[in-house]
Amino acid sequence: MKISVLTLFPEMFESPLRSSLIGKAIERGIIQVEVINLRDFALDKHKQADDYPFGGGAGMVIKADVTLRALEELHRTNPEARTILMSPAGKILNQEMARELAGEKSLLLLCGHYEGFDERVLTEVDDQISIGDYILTGGEMAALVLIEVTARLVPGVLGSEKSIDDESFSEGLLEYPQYTRPRQVGELEVPAVLLSGNHEEIRRWRKKESIRKTLLARPDLLIKKNLDEEERGYLMEILFSGDGGDQQ
Ligand SMILES: C[S@@+](CC[C@H](N)C(=O)[O-])C[C@H]1O[C@@H](n2cnc3c(N)ncnc32)[C@H](O)[C@@H]1O
């Protein structure tokens, strides 16, 4: 997958794109990220990419002519790119959208700053995506979030596809609790079932704890999920049998 990013602050991408899973995926050539300075498309000698808003008011607006020139050039060299504006007015990013975006050959992410873009830029945008109901200073952090959640779903980026299936949201539930060594930390013990070696019991325990966690932390997800018979059984046990989750 190829991801191009258009920004006034290319330096914000340097360290995040060199680190961790995404850094490795780029190194291995599974994903390719190109960060482009929007200012390079300004024609005047000061490379001005923003200007005062018509009608007055505080702040600066990113210029439509500069941005549309950049988009025209990028669409010419990469006509397959899906163009996404990072914007608080967009659809809020979730795992389902990330899965859909991971299937694209190429993404072009537009990062705003100041008061955002001149509205006319929208004529060349396919989607607007927000990462939540709050205002960031710029779209760079939002683009990094989108790159992270999308790239890790591209086949080959994570070592094992299995861990994607188990993760929170992948099945409409939060993930079950995880433990590692040591078995005992002070008085805190690892649930015995996880040490039993019985794979079927571990599977059932994890499913039930996943439902318990979702019920406690995100009941809205449970309402939306179409529970199967086994899952409905665990939910009933948790709700009606005084099962406080002793985790044994
Ligand atoms: C300071 S914000 C502009 C906010 C704009 N004046 C408004 O009130 O909607 C500057 C840029 O940050 C990015 N941004 C801010 N919040 C965002 C969010 N929640 N999700 C995605 N991008 C965001 C957008 O690219 C936006 O153009």
Domain check: are 75 and 146 in the same one?
Answer: yes
Predicted confidence at residue 245, as pLDDT, reads: 65
Summarised one tens digit per residue, pLDDT across range 11-21 is 999 999 999 99
Ligand 1 centroid to Cα of residue 73, in Å, is 24
Average pLDDT over residues 30-56: 97
Cβ density class 98-132: b for 16+ within 10 Å, e for less = beebbebebbbbbbbbbebbbeebeebbeeebbbe
Summarised one tens digit per residue, pLDDT across range 59-93 is 999 999 999 999 999 999 999 999 999 999 999 99
Atom number, ligand 1, closest to the C-alpha of residue 133: 19
At residue 162 the predicted structure's pLDDT band, cuts being 50, 70 and 90, is low
Predicted confidence at residue 79, as pLDDT, reads: 95
* Domain closes at, from 119, 151, 183: 151
Predicted confidence at residue 29, as pLDDT, reads: 96
Task: Please state, in angstroms and as integers, the Cα–Cα distance from residue 177 to each residue in 9, 19, 173, 216, 243, following that order.
Answer: 39, 26, 12, 13, 17
131 Cβ below 6 A of ligand 1: yes
Number of domains in the chain: 2
Domain check: are 128 and 10 in the same one?
Answer: yes
Predicted confidence at residue 169, as pLDDT, reads: 87
132 Cβ below 6 A of ligand 1: yes
What does the block give as tokens for 121?
């830029």
Domain check: are 84 and 44 in the same one?
Answer: yes
For the chain, report the end-to-end CA distance as a whole number of angstroms. 44
Residue pointed to by tokens 């991971």: 102
Nearest 10 degrees: Cα torsion 125, 131, 135, 137:
-70
Domain check: are 28 and 133 in the same one?
Answer: yes
Q: What is the CATH number of the domain that holds 195?
A: 1.10.1270.20
Answer yes or no: is 130 within a domain.
yes
Answer yes or no: is 139 within a domain.
yes
* Domain closes at, from 117, 151, 185: 151
Domain check: are 146 and 184 in the same one?
Answer: no
Q: Identify the burial level of 248 via C-beta atoms within 10 angstroms of its C-beta, where 0-12 means exposed, 13-18 middle and 19 or more buried.
A: exposed
Predicted confidence at residue 126, as pLDDT, reads: 98
What does the block give as tokens for 1?
């997958």
Domain check: are 207 and 100 in the same one?
Answer: no
Ligand 1 centroid to Cα of residue 141, in Å, is 10
* Domain closes at, from 103, 122, 151: 151
Answer yes or no: is 95 within a domain.
yes
Summarised one tens digit per residue, pLDDT across range 76-135 is 999 999 999 999 999 999 999 999 999 999 999 999 999 999 999 999 999 999 999 999
The structure's pTM equals 0.93
Task: Give CA–CA dist 92/132, Å, rounded.
Answer: 6
Domain check: are 28 and 113 in the same one?
Answer: yes
Answer yes or no: is 156 within a domain.
no
**Boundaries of domain holding 210:** 168-240
Per-residue pLDDT at 167 exceeds 90: no
Determine the angle formed by the axes of helices 199-217 and 229-240, rounding to 10 degrees.
Answer: 60
Q: What is the CATH number of the domain that holds 66?
A: 3.40.1280.10
The answer to whether the CB of 4 falls within 8 A of the CB of 70 is no
Answer yes or no: is 159 within a domain.
no
115 Cβ below 6 A of ligand 1: yes
Ligand 1 centroid to Cα of residue 25, in Å, is 28
| 130 SS3 class | strand
Domain check: are 61 and 145 in the same one?
Answer: yes
Summarised one tens digit per residue, pLDDT across range 204-239 is 999 999 999 999 999 999 999 999 999 999 999 999
At residue 164 the predicted structure's pLDDT band, cuts being 50, 70 and 90, is confident
Domain check: are 145 and 187 in the same one?
Answer: no
At residue 165 the predicted structure's pLDDT band, cuts being 50, 70 and 90, is confident
